[in-house]
Amino acid sequence: ETGVTQSPTHLIKTRGQQVTLRCSSQSGHNTVSWYQQALGQGPQFIFQYYREEENGRGNFPPRFSGLQFPNYSSELNVNALELDDSALYLCASSHPGTSEIYEQYFGPGTRLTVT
């Protein structure tokens, strides 16, 4: 069973640029959630995708957007990067229709640095 994978591992961007982060969910999981973890903080919910539709959004501006594909992998896109976007971005997959209900499996994260 393959776990949650994310790419790239690290990324350095300049303020104002755009970035795309990728996530492959655990085999059989149809739900992907994205979290932002700033240095020294707990993860904060950005949004969730369930069967290719957005299924809830946290307190993040519209320049944070996402996609989920038919194979349930997902992308997080951030436009017009700001310095405060520097963080670890975590992807978590889950499947509410299984015995693992309420369990989210996290990937290792993508460390984004905005200069």
Partner 1 sequence: AQSVTQLDSQVPVFEEAPVELRCNYSSSVSVYLFWYVQYPNQGLQLLLKYLSGSTLVKGINGFEAEFNKSQTSFHLRKPSVHISDTAEYFCAVSDGSGFGNEKLTFGTGTRLTIIP
**SS3 at position 83:** helix
97 binds partner 1 (CB under 8 A): yes
Closest by CA position to 76, among listed 13, 40, 33, 44:
33
Q: Which of 92, 93, 112, 114 binds partner 1 (CB under 8 A)?
A: 92
| Closest to partner 1 by CB, 36 or 81 | 36
| Contact flags string 16-55 toward partner 1, x per CB under 8 A | ---------------x-x-x----xxxxxx--x-x----x
Total residues at interface with partner 1 (CB under 8 A): 30
Token pair for residue 47? Answer: 């949004």
CA–CA distance, 25 with 62 (Å, rounded to integer) = 23
CA–CA distance, 60 with 48 (Å, rounded to integer) = 12
Site residues (vs partner 1, CB under 8 A): 4, 31, 33, 35, 40-45, 48, 50, 55-56, 58, 90, 92, 94-97, 101-109
